Amino acid sequence: MTRMEWLRGNGQTDFNGRGVWAYIISGIFLTLLAGCMPTGRSANCGIVAIPGYKSSAPKILDVPCPPPGTSTSVAAEAILYAEPLVLDPGAKWVFDWKTIKRMDENHSLGAAVHDINQMPPDNAWAYLSGKTLMTFRNFHGTQIEYFHPVGDVHLWHPGNSRTVDGDWQLVARNKRYKICFRYDGKTIKSVTLSRYGKSNCMDLVDISASTKETRTGDIFNLTSGSVPFSLSPEATKFDALLTNKYTTRGQKNAAPMRALGKYIQKYTEALRLLDEGEDRQSSKQAIALLMEAAQAGFAPAQLWFSIHHSEGSYVTRNDVESAKWADLTAYHAQTRRLKIIAMKRRNYSNRQLTPQDRVEAKNRSQTWMIKYRK
């Protein structure tokens, strides 16, 4: 069979030799012309491999051409973390270090925290005891506690049918006071579905920051062990509770608190998987759980990403991401201690960055706040 017969038998056009070359050259010309014309999508600049988890394969990205002056690897990171490539050079960190110093000026306990820290122990105890405090935090909502002068503490937690009883101590460390609580570890928090810790110490500034109101005396008779009604986690006032104390508030707004409480469980489960599991699937599952918690604004999970992006373990080494997550941790942390830890971590990562990388880290942090606003 001749070549021309083969072409005809396979449905091909009968070209002579000159026609074939003309066809090939015209095809090349049209391809080059199409590449020079503007289109609705960016041209491809190649395949870039971003390191994956500790025991998993790299993430392969088909990277579009980045703007002039931006490397392909930076473009790949931008796709991976869904951050904009156009940076605001005037962007600032989400959390300001001065915020920690201003916390000592809080007067929600009736006096500034730095003034109470300067009191002798007996005076500070006398000042805090015999008071009922209403506190509000994102992960449990409204709580009411009565600090008995003999050292007992009685907690009215949202959704609970009785008080949670324990004791409290005032501890002086490094010229600052901490209040240490010890509750029954078997009691379940009905809103977050987690257990009370057997003991917990909080800097006085952390209690002050979450305190919304204080009253002298046991105004809800919590020492009796009973509660007036099922407390809602929503923010409220003492007067509203006192005037409507026979109203059943129930769990009207408990769902958001329960959802946040689940991230504590996700965080704990992720750490267990990483501690016990060596296989690829366990690492992937753990990272996914940690990311869920971090994106929900859970500060310990955000700090985890900051530390491990800095070390390059389980996730890719990325000091920009490390600084971003440290900044968000400091913003979301509910204790002074964790805020300071996060700020030190941010400062460490910041020293590893170029000026341009610092701008990018600040932009990523601000973009996260705009996207999730937690």
Determine the residue type at 332.
H
Q: Are 232 and 253 in contact (CB under 8 A)?
A: yes
Q: Do 74 and 24 sit in the same domain of this protein? A: no
The reply to whether 61 falls in a domain is yes
Residues 287 and 335 in one domain: yes
pLDDT range class, residue 29, cuts 50, 70, 90: very low
User: Among the listed ranges 10-14, 17-21, 41-45, which one has the minimum average pLDDT value?
Assistant: 41-45
User: In this structure, are 268 and 364 located in the same domain?
Assistant: yes
Using 50, 70 and 90 to split pLDDT, how confident is the model at 187?
Answer: low
Rounded to whole angstroms, the Cα distance separating 139 from 163 reads 19
| One domain, residues 347 and 247 | no
Query: Does some domain include residue 94?
Result: no
Pair 358, 238 in one domain: no
User: Same domain for 225 and 239?
Assistant: yes
pLDDT for 171: 94
Structural domain count of the chain: 4
Domain contains 98: no
In this prediction, residue 87 carries a pLDDT of 86
Could you give the CA distance from residue 251 to residue 237 in angstroms, rounded to a whole number?
A: 17
The one-letter amino acid at 101? K
| Predicted local distance difference test score (pLDDT) of residue 317 | 93
Position 248 scores a pLDDT of 43
Cα dihedral sign, 35-39-42-47: negative
pTM of the entire structure?
Answer: 0.68
Which residues lie closer than 8 Å to 223 by C-beta, 6 or more apart?
A: 146, 148, 152, 154
Where a domain ends, among 207, 231, 252? 252
Which of 29, 58, 83 terminates a domain? The answer is 83
What pLDDT sits at residue 144? 95
- Whether residue 336 is found in the same domain as residue 366: yes
pLDDT digits (tens, 9 = 90+) for 275-304: 887 677 888 899 999 999 999 899 999 999
Q: What mean pLDDT do residues 126-133 have? A: 95
Taking the mean position of all CA atoms in its chain, how far away is CA 79? 20
| pLDDT for residue 122 is more than 70 | yes
User: Which domain range does residue 183 map to?
Assistant: 119-252
Whether 333 and 297 map to the same domain: the answer is yes
Alpha-carbon distance of 257 to 141, in angstroms, equals: 7
Task: Report which of 221, 219, 227 is spatially closest to residue 161, judged by C-alpha positions.
Answer: 227
Q: What is the pLDDT of residue 35?
A: 42
Do residues 163 and 176 lie in contact, with contact meaning Cβ atoms separated by under 8 Å?
A: no
In a domain, 113, yes or no: no
- Which helix (H) or strand (E) element contains residue 193? none
144/246 same-domain check: yes
Same domain, 127 and 230: yes
Does residue 97 form part of some domain?
no
Domain boundary among 252, 281, 309: 252
Residue predicted with more confidence, 47 or 126? 126
> If you average pLDDT over residues 86-115, what whole number do you get?
92
The one-letter amino acid at 357: D
Residue type, 362: K
Write down the pLDDT at residue 138.
72
Q: Are residues 271 and 350 in the same domain?
A: yes
Read off the tokens for 344. Answer: 């030190």
Share of the chain above pLDDT 90, in %: 51
User: pLDDT tier at 39 (50, 70, 90 boundaries)?
Assistant: very low
Query: Which pLDDT tens digit goes with each residue over 228-280?
Result: 988 888 888 999 998 865 444 444 455 555 566 688 889 989 999 998 876 77
pLDDT band for 130, please (50, 70, 90 cuts): very high
Determine, yes or no, domain membership for 95.
no
pLDDT tens digit sequence for 331-364? 999 899 999 999 999 999 999 999 999 999 999 9
What pLDDT, on the 0 to 100 scale, is given for residue 277?
A: 72
Instruction: Report pLDDT for 243.
Output: 85
The token duo for 24 is 């090939």
CA 26 from centre of chain: 57
Strand partners, 203: 178
Mean predicted confidence (pLDDT) in 89-100 = 93
* Residue 96 falls inside a structural domain: no
* Residue 240 maps to a domain: yes
Dihedral over alpha carbons 264, 267, 268, 269 (to 10 degrees): 120
Q: 221 and 134 in one domain?
A: yes
